[in-house]
Amino acid sequence: MRRATMFVSGFVGLLLVFTPGPLSPQQLSKFDRDDALQMLRSVAADVQKNYYDPKLHGLDWDAKVQQAKENIAKADTMDSAMAEIAALLDSLNDSHTSFVPPPRNYLHKYGFRLRMVGDRCYVIRIHADSDAEKKGLKVGDQVLSINGLPVSRKTLWRIQYVYNHLRPQPGLRLTLAAQSGDPHHLDVMAKLEINHVVKYALHQGVNQMAQDWDEEGRLLEPQYFENGDAFLAIRIPAFAFSAEQVDRIFGKMRKHKGVVLDLRGNPGGFEDMVDRMVGALFQNDVKVYDRVRRNSTRAVSVSGRHHDAFTGKFAVLVDCASASASELFARIVQLEKRGYILGDRTAGMVMEAQSFSHEAFADSGAFGAYYGVEVTEADLIMSDGKSLEHVGVEPDIMILPTAQDLANKRDPAMAKAAGLVGLRITPEEAGSMFPDKEKNF
């Protein structure tokens, strides 16, 4: 139960629409090609053995694997070979089954972050001193396409996967909507940074690893905003914390009459965290879903906290980047009529997956000896008999920020949610509740 990215094989021919500056494609040696073929065999076997649907949605899996093998035999770069493996997995049309290629020596930092708001794609963050900032890109700008690829809810995840993992580019061409007149292009260059995986292998690499772990833990810590005993807002970046942290969260909640849980941008996390959080909202036991595995279907319920449950007013904020476990949590709250769901329709990426890793022996290209695959092991059927995969959670109250809201750090969704549970607050005040903790992206 975790967020995964997806890839569409039809994008392969469009990836190099704009390639500012000279590219240095990683040419395939015989050793590299053999290694790519071994990756294909391992990944295909992991899927065939562990995928929750033994019929693989009716696909002729052997034929597709053979086609990928033939394409890799003709590939002229390692990037092209990796794209064939990713395209094979994408043919399952499953949000949680995806290829994890070997890490690269360098990360491409494009200096901006995008998010879908309704059916439009906006810039939501700009990195200081990035080329994007210097070229005039601004928070609230609407992006119509990236390197000629139209951006939509269905394509943004895929485009980000391609340019962040499969085929990073020295720069990207953004097509931006204009307030008046025709759209215009903006070419932004990436900043290259040494991958921390490389740093781990260097002298004092263990110190770098410890720093990274500390930083990741800091970014995943919940954030709180309190207004006396009447109101509490909690932002949870991901369901990736301990049982003790869940208990601390709900210990705080029980001290307040109204609570807003902000799951916007939350990509999901671990099943036991969701179960524990759901249980803390109810006094009685609740059936949450049926888990459909390869050889079994089992009803899953969570135990209520009885007199220790939080019983105050409750609202949950979600958006299109709320995925997997965060969607599951929001839908349970909605189905059980335990609180309000506000914001945007969620990602529709709700399955349970397991990671499988393998060792690679490439003599050129990415530093690091491991690659892997995420394989869906279960579908989750909610208590209404429906799956959230490719559907998502439709909020009870749809509230979408405008471009001006994004640019001016106004948060109308939080303001509305706060009002529903007992606190009158302006969108401007709501937008300043949680300081930005992430400095490097």
The pLDDT value recorded for residue 8 is: 30
Q: Which token pair is 363?
A: 């003599």
Q: Over the stretch 308-356, which tens digit does the pLDDT of each residue have?
A: 999 999 999 999 999 999 999 999 999 999 999 999 999 999 999 999 9
Question: Residue 163: is its pLDDT beyond 80?
Answer: yes
Q: Which token pair is 283?
A: 């006094």
Question: Residue 4: is its pLDDT beyond 60?
Answer: no
CA distances to 19, 183, 249, 396 from 276, in Å:
48, 48, 11, 24
Question: Residue 300: is its pLDDT beyond 60?
Answer: yes
Mean of pLDDT values over 100-112: 90
Fold for 214-351+378-431, please state it.
2-enoyl-CoA Hydratase; Chain A, domain 1 (3.90.226)
Q: Over the stretch 119-133, which tens digit does the pLDDT of each residue have?
A: 999 999 999 999 999
Fold for 9-101, please state it.
Histone Acetyltransferase; Chain A (1.20.920)
Question: Residue 147: is its pLDDT beyond 60?
Answer: yes
The model carries a pTM of 0.89
Task: pLDDT band for 178, please (50, 70, 90 cuts).
Answer: confident
Backbone phi, then psi, for 358, in 5-degree steps?
-140, 155
Which CATH superfamily includes the segment(s) 106-194? PDZ domain (2.30.42.10)
Q: Which of 165-169, 295-299, 330-334, 377-381 has the lowest mean pLDDT?
A: 165-169
Going from N- to C-terminal start, the domains of the chain cover: 9-101, 106-194, 214-351+378-431
Task: pLDDT band for 206, please (50, 70, 90 cuts).
Answer: low
Which of 370, 434, 401 has its CA nearest to residue 99? 370
The mean predicted confidence, pLDDT, of the chain is 89
Question: Residue 15: is its pLDDT beyond 60?
Answer: no
* Residues 327 and 388 sit within 8 Å (Cβ to Cβ): yes
The pLDDT value recorded for residue 37 is: 95
The pLDDT value recorded for residue 20 is: 34
Task: pLDDT band for 208, please (50, 70, 90 cuts).
Answer: low
Mean of pLDDT values over 4-28: 38
Q: How far apart are CA 339 and CA 161, in angstroms?
A: 34
Q: Over the stretch 399-440, which tens digit does the pLDDT of each residue have?
A: 999 999 999 999 999 999 999 999 999 999 999 999 887 766
Mean of pLDDT values over 6-24: 33
The pLDDT value recorded for residue 5 is: 31
Q: Over the stretch 233-263, which tens digit does the pLDDT of each residue have?
A: 999 999 988 889 999 999 999 999 999 999 9
